[in-house]
C-alpha cells in the first residue's frame, strides 16, 4: 500500500474510532444509569461525528439492542468515509500549484 493510501486508511480509522468512542459514551451513560450525559460533551461528539445526526429519527433504537449496533455501525462507516474524504480534499489542496 502506498503512503497516500495509508494516510487515507488512518484518517478513516480515526473516524471509526471517534464513532466508537461516541457509542461507548452512550452505553456508559444509558438513560437508566445514574450518570447523566454532559451536553457539552455530546455537542463535541456531534461536531466530530456529523453522521450521528442520522440517529435522531431512530431514537427508539434501544442502547445495546441489535438495531442500535446496526445503526451505529452504518454511522461509523459514514464517519470513516467522511474523514477519508476530508483527507483527500486536503491532499488535493496541498498538491495544487498556486
Structure confidence by residue, pLDDT tens digits, 27-60: 888 766 656 778 888 899 999 999 999 888 887 7
Looking at residue 72, its pLDDT comes to 92
For the stretch 61-70, pLDDT in tens is 777 788 888 9
Looking at residue 91, its pLDDT comes to 86
Looking at residue 20, its pLDDT comes to 94
Given a contact cutoff of 8 angstroms between Cβ atoms, the answer to whether 66 and 53 are in contact is no
Q: How many residues does the chain have?
A: 98
Q: CA 38, 54, 5 angle in degrees (round to 5)? A: 95
Looking at residue 30, its pLDDT comes to 73
Looking at residue 32, its pLDDT comes to 61
Which residue has 470513516 as its cell numbers? 80
C-alpha cell at 93: 489542496
More confident residue, 90 or 59: 90
- The H or E element that residue 12 is part of is helix 3-28
**Residue 92 pLDDT exceeds 80:** yes
The distance between the two most distant Cα atoms of the chain, rounded to a whole number of Å, is: 56
Amino acid at each position: 500500500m502506498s503512503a497516500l493510501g495509508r494516510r487515507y486508511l488512518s484518517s478513516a480509522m480515526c473516524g471509526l474510532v471517534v464513532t466508537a468512542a461516541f457509542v461507548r459514551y452512550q452505553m456508559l451513560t444509558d438513560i437508566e444509569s445514574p450518570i447523566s450525559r454532559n451536553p457539552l460533551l455530546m455537542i463535541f461528539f456531534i461536531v466530530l461525528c456529523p453522521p450521528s445526526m442520522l440517529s435522531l429519527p431512530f431514537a427508539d433504537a434501544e442502547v445495546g439492542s441489535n438495531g442500535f449496533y446496526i445503526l451505529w455501525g452504518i454511522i461509523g462507516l459514514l464517519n470513516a468515509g467522511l474523514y477519508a474524504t476530508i483527507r483527500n480534499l486536503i491532499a488535493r489542496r496541498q498538491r495544487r500549484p498556486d
